[in-house]
Amino acid sequence: MQGVASSNTPMAVDDRYRLLIDAVTDYAIYMLDVDGRVVSWNAGAKRFKGYEESEIIGQHFSRFYTAEDRAAGMPQRTLDQAANERFEGEGWRMRKDGSRFWCHVVVDPIRSPDGELLGFAKITRDLTERKLAEESLKQSEQQFRLLVQSVTDYAIYMLDPTGVVTNWNAGAQRIKGYQPEEIIGQHYSLFFTEEDRQKGTPQRGLATALRDGRFESQGLRVRKDGSRFWASVVVDPIRSDTGALVGFAKVTRDITDSVEAQRALENAREALFQAQKMESLGRLTGGIAHDFNNLLMAVVGGLEIVRRRVDDDPRIVPLLDNAIHGAQRGISLSQRMLAYARRQELHLELVDLSALVRGMADLLRQSLGPWIAIETRFPLSLKPVLADANQVELALLNLAVNARDAMPNGGTVIISAREHRLDTKDGALEPGDYVCLALVDEGTGMDEVTLAQAMEPFFTTKGVGKGTGLGLSMVHGLAAQSGGRLLLKSEKGSGTTAELWLPLAVNVPVPAETERVQQSESQCLMALKVLAVDDDPLVLMTTAAMLEELGCEVIEAESAEQALEVLTRQGIDLVLTDQAMPQMTGAQLADLIQQRYPHLPVILATGYADKLGGRAGNLPRLGKPFDMDALAEKIKAVMSQL
């Protein structure tokens, strides 16, 4: 086979450009004069559009556009834009037979050396079929040179049969960074990564082009400065009239933006999946915690009443106290579950995080032990956040204990805080001002799989009986319910950073703190007639027993409808109703009561941090499960305001 001559052989450089353009079969390349009339026509253009050269030379290129685009003035806008800068777009175009095809178009201005506008170079690619067709250019050698050199969005150049670069256009210079004198004569494998060169990818691409008539691929390529980019590459063999291999035509396009956009889309889909999974787990956990609260309500209330009524029998009292203690541990567990589900009621207040951490110093030292050093790094001035101080303390303690467990041989825990402003939405965080409370350890860290599951409820890496798996999920729920987030960063063997983001209390009204009533002696001093409403018979019976223990007369109702019937027949001093009831909620019942009996007080008992609107939002609330002291205290507070 006869090879192409090097740059010092009789073959002129312009002939190479002619052969190059003639070999590019995947694109239609032609020229327009300054008015938009066709002055050259290649075989690719004939294949795409169906016109013979004699039919189209001298005709205005607007005939390729649809009637709608012509009416909108798109052809002239294309020339106006291309006269100043490259025009690129996609759209419908018309063939001679009236059929439409979707194409990608690039229009570049062609200028003489003194800057005079000579016309336009136009490249069209048929994206509907992507089939090869030979192209033949009918222009002078100077036109071919101007045409190729004017294209800047594609790297179009030639290789000799061995893969050595023999010419270089402006697009190749822009995309890859090499000047012509730097790259002509070099092997094109210079553009590949070291890994691809070791695998023989450059040689395999040329061999595929020879075998199949074309090689097309996407992959990483390397610029002169060493940076990498994603490229779409087409390699076509160039043959002489006798069939001898002359070299290869190579067209490269930088598709980094589209690849990165696809990656961003995939990441967004994954984040959405994770958010939906966590939301589903939260709903399931909240439902379980609600039912668990009802059971605990019956257990705690019943045990308390029994404890008050039995004599101080040393054989019975310790067992009752132990049972009550166990039930209280169950309450703590349900509170963690509700925190993860974002259904726990928060008592928002202004919190100085630096003062909060200082106040926890002794507790942290005792909890972490002598083998763990604690460092704090806070700015001199730190604005307060709007949060539940008790829950923040519990969250920080949970994070610290996790850090301790990750450092069995001791180490250092660093607690720091900084203010940060978000101008755009970042994941779950809305734009605004935040404080990032961070805890960093030197522990074993987590791999990607463990890190992805770390905030899920009941997931733990600790041994059996050494953890509930609710610590991080509780912190996650607290952060989300407070308008912030928990962010974990970790690598295996490199420790873990836990960041608790909380919103700054900037121009945020702080709820007025409810005036606390002195601790009740669990003895209601007023003989009240109380209507107790709950759809759970166990809870209703326990609540009624507690009210009777306080000296109240109790009427029970198992639904809101039944409660309304009772109110029509009897005089009631106070209504104590559950919130989560079928058909009519406690809040809806309270709303009807306030309309019909405006002076009748209503207490809403709920285990959820429901945001209630209207008049129901101002109702006094009693968190479930509650004990007799809490019940008596709430009744006294409500009745004292009448």
Per-residue model confidence as pLDDT tens digits over 433-476: 899 999 999 888 888 777 776 665 544 555 433 444 445 666 77
The token pair at 464 is 């059996």
Q: Which residue has the tokens 């121009």?
A: 507
By the 8 A CB rule, do 620 and 516 touch?
Answer: no
The token pair at 281 is 């787990």
Measure the CA–CA gap between 51 and 46, rounded to whole angstroms: 5
Query: What's the pLDDT score for residue 286?
Result: 54
Query: What's the pLDDT score for residue 241?
Result: 79
CA dihedral (340, 357, 432, 262) positive or negative: negative
* Structure confidence at residue 358 as a pLDDT band (50, 70, 90): confident
Measure the CA–CA gap between 214 and 218, rounded to whole angstroms: 14
Comparing C-alpha atoms, which of 357, 351, 396 is closest to residue 504?
Answer: 351
**Most confident by average pLDDT, 465-479, 498-512, 625-639:** 625-639
492 phi, psi to nearest 5 deg: -60, 125
Residue extents of the structural domains in the chain: 267-336, 349-503, 529-640
* Structure confidence at residue 283 as a pLDDT band (50, 70, 90): low
Task: Name 240's Cβ contacts closer than 8 Å, sequence gap at least 6.
Answer: 2, 246
Give CA torsion, residues 621, 626, 631, 632, to 10 deg: -140
By the 8 A CB rule, do 468 and 285 touch?
Answer: no
Could you give the angle at which helices 586-596 and 560-569 cross, rounded to 10 degrees? 20
- What CATH architecture is 349-503? 2-Layer Sandwich (3.30)
Question: DSSP 3-state assignment of 234?
Answer: strand
* Structure confidence at residue 102 as a pLDDT band (50, 70, 90): confident
* Structure confidence at residue 153 as a pLDDT band (50, 70, 90): confident
- Percent of the chain surpassing pLDDT 90: 22
Comparing C-alpha atoms, which of 190, 221, 189 is closest to residue 206?
Answer: 189
Same fold for the domain at 349-503 and the one at 529-640?
no
Measure Cα distances from 140 to 158, 248, 377, 462 in Å. Answer: 19, 22, 73, 78
Comparing C-alpha atoms, which of 63, 54, 23, 29 is closest to residue 44?
Answer: 29
Please identify, in words, the CATH class of the domain defined by 529-640.
alpha beta
By the 8 A CB rule, do 594 and 586 touch?
Answer: no
Task: Name 301's Cβ contacts closer than 8 Å, sequence gap at least 6.
Answer: 542, 543, 545, 546, 625, 627, 628
Query: How confident is the model over 173-202, as a mean pLDDT?
Result: 91
Q: Which residue has the tokens 């061995």?
A: 162
Measure the CA–CA gap between 312 and 303, rounded to whole angstroms: 14
Measure the CA–CA gap between 485 and 511, rounded to whole angstroms: 22
In 463-489, which positions are buried (b, 16+ CB within 10 angstroms) versus exposed (e)?
A: eeeebbbbbbbbbbbbbbbbbbbbbbe
Task: Name 482's Cβ contacts closer than 8 Å, sequence gap at least 6.
Answer: 346, 348, 386, 387, 388, 502, 503
DSSP letter assigned to residue 626 = -
| Model pLDDT for residues 368-390, shown as the tens digit of each residue | 888 889 898 998 888 898 887 77
First vs last Cα of the chain: how many Å apart?
107
Measure the CA–CA gap between 567 and 573, rounded to whole angstroms: 10
Measure the CA–CA gap between 250 and 157, rounded to whole angstroms: 6
As beta bridge partners, residue 553 has 529
Q: Which residue has the tokens 């106040």?
A: 359
496 phi, psi to nearest 5 deg: -135, 140
* Structure confidence at residue 511 as a pLDDT band (50, 70, 90): very low
Query: How confident is the model over 21-35, as a mean pLDDT?
Result: 75
Query: Which helix (H) or strand (E) segment is 630 a member of?
Result: helix 628-640
C-alpha radius of gyration, the chain, whole number: 39
Helical spans, DSSP H, in 310-447: 317-340, 353-359, 361-368, 389-405
The token pair at 366 is 């005792």
* pLDDT, the chain, mean: 78
Give CA torsion, residues 287, 291, 293, 297, to 10 deg: 160
CA dihedral (135, 138, 144, 150) positive or negative: negative
Comparing C-alpha atoms, which of 388, 638, 612 is closest to residue 513?
Answer: 388
By the 8 A CB rule, do 439 and 402 touch?
Answer: no
The token pair at 599 is 């002076």
Query: Which helix (H) or strand (E) segment is 415 a member of?
Result: strand 411-422
Query: What's the pLDDT score for residue 69?
Result: 92
Measure the CA–CA gap between 85 and 502, rounded to whole angstroms: 48
Question: DSSP 3-state assignment of 627?
Answer: coil
Does the pLDDT of residue 259 top 80, yes or no? yes
Measure Cα distances from 571 to 295, 314, 576, 584, 632 in Å. Answer: 31, 44, 14, 22, 21
Measure the CA–CA gap between 335 and 470, rounded to whole angstroms: 10
Q: Which residue has the tokens 């609600």?
A: 290
Does the pLDDT of residue 487 top 50, yes or no? yes
